[in-house]
Amino acid sequence: MVDLSTTYMGLPLKHPVVASASPLSESVDGIKRLEDAGAAAIVMFSLFEEQLQHESEAFDHLTTSGTESFAESLTYFPMVEDYHVGPDRYLDLIRRATEACDIPVIASLNGITDRGWTDIARQMQEAGAKGIELNVYYIPADLGMTGREVEDRYVDVLTAVKRSVTVPVAMKLSPFFSAMGDMARRLDTAGADALVLFNRFYQPDFDLEKLEVKSNLNLSASTEMRLPLLWIAVLHGRIRPSLAATTGVHAAEDVVKYLMAGADAVMSTSALLKHGPGFVATLVDGVTAWMERRGYSGVQQMKGSMSQANVADPTAFERANYIKMLESYKSDYVL
């Protein structure tokens, strides 16, 4: 019998498969269905800063201006309306969900400033949330903004939330930092209990018939897991916060890969939306079968076994491998 237990952001979990933020957690029934399907923990859908400050100028700007400075972020903000849950309903949902479930329920806050709204984190804790996941969904379309200023936003939001709660706080990160390692260290110093790699940004497409920007949402594919896989492998064992993988988990092998890279928890949204909450069990059973077949005794033994620090050739994650890979590419069309 393999031991699937893991610890994520200080929370003991029976196995590493966690349901990430999605509309599946919009009701107590939905959350309960995820628990019954076997999820080890649930991250609730996000409460947006804009929902808390919907009267504010910032919200007006984001939702109505349509200027190019926020064009990209507009593709995501329709979700605010889709979810349409104010803070009171959100807190009530946490209360009812934590009463109904034995597994940890993690609340999710999505914002880009540290001004005022972060107090809601304390109310989330009081309502029963076992942890808070912060999602700074920020696209720095202001050309005058420096990389350091973008990084500071993440650190400031984290610092403000850490000040108001005692439950663990995770930070869901964008992959677009020029120095991911340094950013991870800054968040470590600011007290992050976990880093969630990576936030999946919803890039716009063009409708060439209507000449409009399309803002439809595509579910992920397994191939998208390579970027988080790379950074989890690089960061494993080198920073204090736990690491969670989000993006591209569509099969048990994807979970295994993330664990081997060094993830403490592996999250799924697209696959659960596609196949239903029952797919959690397919993932967990598949991981168990894989481990038994390969003679692993537990997740702990497997975790990070293929991280950059542990593989025989650490340059496999770096530039040298890029050159090797290009040279080895074979195509029928290359003479």
Ligand X SMILES: Cc1cc2nc3c(=O)[nH]c(=O)nc-3n(C[C@H](O)[C@H](O)[C@H](O)COP(=O)(O)O)c2cc1C
User: Contact region for ligand X (CB under 6 A) — 18-26, 97-105, 258-266, 293-301?
Assistant: 18-26
Q: How many residues bind ligand X (CB under 6 A)?
A: 23
**By the 8 A CB rule, do 149 and 174 touch?**
no
CA–CA dist 2, 291 (Å, integer) = 7
DSSP string, 185-223: HHHHHTT-SEEEE-------EEETTTTEEE---PPP-GG
Q: For ligand X, which is the closer residue by CB, 2 or 44?
A: 44
Under the criterion CB under 6 A, does residue 19 sit at the interface with ligand X?
no
Under the criterion CB under 6 A, does residue 268 sit at the interface with ligand X?
yes
* Candidate list 73, 269, 307, 308; residue touching ligand X; CB under 6 A: 269
SS3 143: coil
Under the criterion CB under 6 A, does residue 200 sit at the interface with ligand X?
yes
Q: For ligand X, which is the closer residue by CB, 2 or 124?
A: 124
User: What is the per-residue binding string for ligand X in 128-147, x denoting contact by CB under 6 A?
Assistant: -------x------------
CB of 215 to ligand X, least distance (A): 13
**By the 8 A CB rule, do 48 and 111 touch?**
yes
Under the criterion CB under 6 A, does residue 257 sit at the interface with ligand X?
no
CB of 220 to ligand X, least distance (A): 3
Other CB atoms within 10 Å distance of the CB of residue 284: 21
Assigned token pair, 195: 């880093």
Q: Is 138 exposed, middle or buried (0-12, 13-18, 19+ CB in 10 A)?
A: buried
Under the criterion CB under 6 A, does residue 90 sit at the interface with ligand X?
no
Contacting positions for ligand X (CB under 6 A): 20-23, 45-46, 108, 110, 135, 172, 200, 217, 219-220, 246-249, 268-271, 273
